[in-house]
Amino acid sequence: MLEASKLTKRYNAVIALDALDLLVEPGQIYCLLGPNGAGKTTTINLFLGFIRPDGGTARVNGQDVASHSVETKKDLAYIPEQVNLYRSLTGLENLEFFTGLAGHDYPRDKLLEFLLAAGLPGGAADQRVGAYSKGMRQKVGIAIALAKNAKALLLDEPTSGLDPLASYEFSQLLRQLAKEKVAILMTTHDLFRAKEVGSVIGIMRRGTLVTTMSTEQFSHTDMEKIYLEYMK
Amino acid sequence: MTRPIWLVLVKEIRQMRRDARLLAAGFLGFLLVAVASFVGVQHHQIVTQQKREAAQTERSRWLNLSDLGPHGAAHFGIYVFKPETPLMAFDPGVDQFLGVSVWLEAHKQNKFIYRPMQDAGAVQRFFNMTPAAIIQLLGPLIIILLGFNAFAGERDQGTLRQLLSIGVDGRFLLLGKAAAVTGVLFLVLVPAVAMAIAAGIGLSADVSWLRLTLLVFVYCLYLGTFVGLTLAVTARAGSARSALAFLLAFWVVNGFLVPRSVAEIADWAIPLPSATAWQAGMEAEIRDGHATALELQVKRELFAQYGVDNVDALPVNWRGIMLQRGEEQNYPVFDAHFGKLFDGVRRQDIVYQWGGLLAPAVTIQSLSMGLAGSDFEHHKGFVRAAEEHRRVIQKTLNEELTLHPEKEWGEYSAGPELWARVPEFQYALPDLRDLMWHYAPAALILLAWCALAWVLALRSATTLRP
């Protein structure tokens, strides 16, 4: 479970995030939409403990991120827009390294299973990541999340730049994870993808969550209208 | 707890192994150190052998002197050679600037001659490629090149963000990366240096294991300081490029600017007289051992002591007594002038050691020379031992002359029996405990540098930001 309570972040006089209240339940996919500078990535960074809040709290499974930065990450997996891996290592070696640091010691077969489950083509596991496409790197990122057995997933514009097929496969995986009761918070510019995969959509503007809506209640067209209305 | 460190170490080594440029640079570094060590060992072996042979030849020449008066033999004199310590193969220190031999003769304490650097070219004078100099200068450079992008490079590539999102303690990352850098450095430096030290040890049975252990320890502290500093900087730097620029600037300051500046400052703060002025000052005070006044005084005392009124009636040779008296009256002059010079150099050395506060290279230079036995303190010890030996020679010869009364100067001729009674010159390295206080500032400052570097590194690692 991910929870923000009056979460605030300022950069000098600029308020990047203004008293954000947000709750992502296990099994829920919460999509944060908004233009650049709306505070989406700041929210993700606060949940990851990469920056300290100026007010309020970010909690992961009830634990305050600011005071338990290392512990809360044990329950988290993070997939950014660009999953950056070690280019001279193979996909399998990257997965082994990251999951090892997370405290897991999987045999090679199990690691290959995770890569396969994430959709990485069979022969790619032993190729160096330097030769991977962006989509393949995203899949290794997902494999890390799967292997980590994370209870919450933070996604920062994960489908940006992916081709439609890769985006579709990615959405399928997210649904699968949600079924496994993973709480997912995803920032995106892609309203269509948010409607397709999300259970709740929150619209942010200038550091404030201006509205939330259930994807089941509104059509894609309605959502687009609402979004544009708030962006005026 | 150690598994994350091991994982980071394995990952780092794997990445380095797959980096062709790094492998090539590492191999070149290894080659350079190996060549420097080999050349150092070869040179050390040749010089040791030459000194040994020269000392044997000189002793043989002394023992085979033809029959002549003891004072004549004293004027022939004998050369003694400063022995090479085994660790000088590793660090020849200031020894090559100070001279390797001294002529022990009657009446005066001579300066050292045959300085190896007299024959050296400008480049060699600027940077003499000894194993110690290689480690002192290239060791930090290798660490910087291996470690500057340890964190900053990951930050540039975005992998640090991925890494930190995993929830790993930054200190484990730091220790894993430090272990990787140290491991590669070990591979590049240690085999060649071990070869140098082993070859040096092979030459002499009297190697001090305590000195060797301490030498290894202080170099570990020095290189450990650079590992800590490099990782602290790369953990804080905004980019790998800025980390490299900062570290290279520090490397230049540490290896070149500060040591030379501090030496200049020490020279300015405690000026030493020029060799000519110092020599002239001493010679002005030396009293002539053959002076008429001394001769008259000695004769007067002896006539009174033995109740005689002419030298022919004396039961002893007045010349032997006069010559010994002449020697002894100049001991305080030599001791004062050499002592003043030594004290000046010692105080300069202390100033130099405190310069280590500005750069750790200054501390390792002092400690390395001190432990290798190639510093000025050891040179001073040898100068004193040589002078003691000169005094023993003169006393032995003058006493022999005293025992042989003569009517005319030069009538008594001594032979091989007397020459053999003059002991062979023996020199033992000063006890390390006597040097401990002298090098305490350098040792403490180096320890402080290492502690500071690692405190900074650990602090940076616990507050890592992507």
Question: Mapped to the 3 state alphabet, what secondary structure does B122-173 carry?
Answer: HHHHHCCCCHHHHHHHHHHHHHHHHHCCCCHHHHHHCHHHHHHHCCCCHHHH
Confidence of residue B207 (pLDDT cuts 50, 70, 90): low
Residue B116 has pLDDT above 70, yes or no: no
H or E element that contains B404: none
Q: In what order do the strands lie in the sheet with A200-205?
A: A76-79, A152-156, A183-188, A29-33, A200-205, A208-214
Confidence of residue A165 (pLDDT cuts 50, 70, 90): confident
State residue B442's pLDDT score: 96
Tens of pLDDT, residues B37-57: 788 778 888 888 888 888 899
Confidence of residue A166 (pLDDT cuts 50, 70, 90): confident
Residue B426 has pLDDT above 60, yes or no: yes
Tens of pLDDT, residues B170-181: 999 999 999 999
CA distance B395 to B328: 9
Chain B's closest residue to A82, CA to CA, is B158
State residue B250's pLDDT score: 97
Q: Which residues of B touch A100 (CB under 8 A)?
A: 3-4, 7
In degrees and rounded to multiples of 5, residue A30 shows phi and psi of -100, 115
Across the interface, do A100 and B4 touch by the CB < 8 Å criterion? yes
Q: What is the pTM of this model?
A: 0.87
Interface of A with B in 61-80 (CB under 8 A): 70-74, 76-78, 80
Confidence of residue B458 (pLDDT cuts 50, 70, 90): very high
In degrees and rounded to multiples of 5, residue B342 shows phi and psi of -60, -40
State residue B200's pLDDT score: 62
In degrees and rounded to multiples of 5, residue B374 shows phi and psi of -115, 20
- For residue B173, the distance in angstroms to the closest alpha carbon of chain A comes to 10
Confidence of residue B202 (pLDDT cuts 50, 70, 90): low
Q: Which candidate from B3, B7, B15 shows the least CB-CB separation from A88?
A: B15
Confidence of residue A74 (pLDDT cuts 50, 70, 90): confident
Residue with tokens 């020379």: B369
Range with the poorest average pLDDT among A43-57, A70-84, B289-303: B289-303
Token pair recorded at residue A55: 């007010």
Which chain B residues have any C-beta within 8 angstroms of a chain A C-beta? 3-4, 7-8, 11, 14-15, 18-19, 157-159, 161-169, 172, 465-466
Q: Best mutation site among A84, A85, A137 for testing chain B: the one with the most B CBs within 10 Å?
A: A84
Across the interface, do B11 and A77 touch by the CB < 8 Å criterion? no
State residue B424's pLDDT score: 87
Residue B107 has pLDDT above 70, yes or no: yes
Range with the poorest average pLDDT among A130-139, A164-173, B109-118: B109-118
Mean pLDDT of chain A: 90
State residue A108's pLDDT score: 95
Say whether residue A98 is in contact with chain B using an 8 A CB cutoff.
Answer: yes
Residue with tokens 């780092």: B12
State residue B86's pLDDT score: 78
CA distance B168 to B365: 39
State residue B305's pLDDT score: 83
CA distance B413 to B274: 41
Q: Which candidate from B15, B161, B164 shows the least CB-CB separation from A86?
A: B15
Residue A195 has pLDDT above 60, yes or no: yes
Q: Which residues of A touch B164 (CB under 8 A)?
A: 48, 50, 73
State residue A28's pLDDT score: 94
Confidence of residue A44 (pLDDT cuts 50, 70, 90): very high
List A188's β-bridge partners, or say none: A33
B10 against B115, higher pLDDT: B10
DSSP-assigned states of every residue in B283-300:
HHHPPPTT-HHHHHHHHH
CA distance B78 to B57: 10
Q: Distance of CA A199 to CAs A35, A173, A220, B342, Å?
A: 20, 15, 13, 85
Q: What b-and-e string marks burial along A61-89, b requiring 16 or more CB atoms within 10 Å of the CB? A: bebbbbeebeebbbbbbbbbbbbbbbbbb
Token pair recorded at residue A30: 């919460």
Confidence of residue A154 (pLDDT cuts 50, 70, 90): very high
**CB A213: neighbour CB atoms within 10 A?**
16
Closest CA to B331 of B412, B245, B261, B394: B394
Q: Tell me the HSE value of A194 on the side-chain side, using a 13 A CA sphere.
A: 30
Chain A's closest residue to B172, CA to CA, is A101
Mean pLDDT of B417-433: 85
Token pair recorded at residue B241: 């490029």
State residue A169's pLDDT score: 84
- For residue B244, the distance in angstroms to the closest alpha carbon of chain A comes to 21
State residue B196's pLDDT score: 66
State residue B466's pLDDT score: 85
Residue A49 has pLDDT above 70, yes or no: yes
CA distance A137 to B174: 26
State residue B199's pLDDT score: 67
CA distance A221 to A209: 21
Range with the poorest average pLDDT among A190-199, B7-16, B232-241, B404-413: B404-413
Say whether residue A48 is in contact with chain B using an 8 A CB cutoff.
Answer: yes
CA distance B62 to B393: 11
Residue B114 has pLDDT above 70, yes or no: no
Q: Which candidate from B11, B19, B158 shows the least CB-CB separation from A84?
A: B158
Across the interface, do B166 and A88 touch by the CB < 8 Å criterion? no
A228 against A22, higher pLDDT: A22
Say whether residue A97 is in contact with chain B using an 8 A CB cutoff.
Answer: yes
Across the interface, do A101 and B166 touch by the CB < 8 Å criterion? yes
| Euclidean distance between the first and the last CA atom of chain A, given in angstroms as a whole number | 32
Could you tell me if B134 and B32 are in contact, meaning their C-beta atoms sit under 8 angstroms apart?
yes
Range with the poorest average pLDDT among A143-152, A159-168, B353-362: A159-168
In degrees and rounded to multiples of 5, residue B308 shows phi and psi of -120, 170
Mean pLDDT of A56-84: 91
CA distance A5 to B393: 93
Residue with tokens 């570097």: B453
Which burial class, exposed, middle or buried, applies to B293 when counting CB atoms under 10 A from its CB (0-12, 13-18, 19+)?
Answer: exposed
Say whether residue A100 is in contact with chain B using an 8 A CB cutoff.
Answer: yes
Mean pLDDT of B294-320: 82
Mean pLDDT of B329-340: 88
Chain A's closest residue to B155, CA to CA, is A84
Q: Distance of CA B156 to CAs B101, B150, B465, Å?
A: 58, 11, 12
Across the interface, do A88 and B14 touch by the CB < 8 Å criterion? yes
Q: Which candidate from A73, A78, A88 shows the least CB-CB separation from B18?
A: A88
Q: Which of the 8 DSSP states describes residue B373?
A: T
Report H helices in B148-239: 152-157, 159-165, 170-203, 209-236
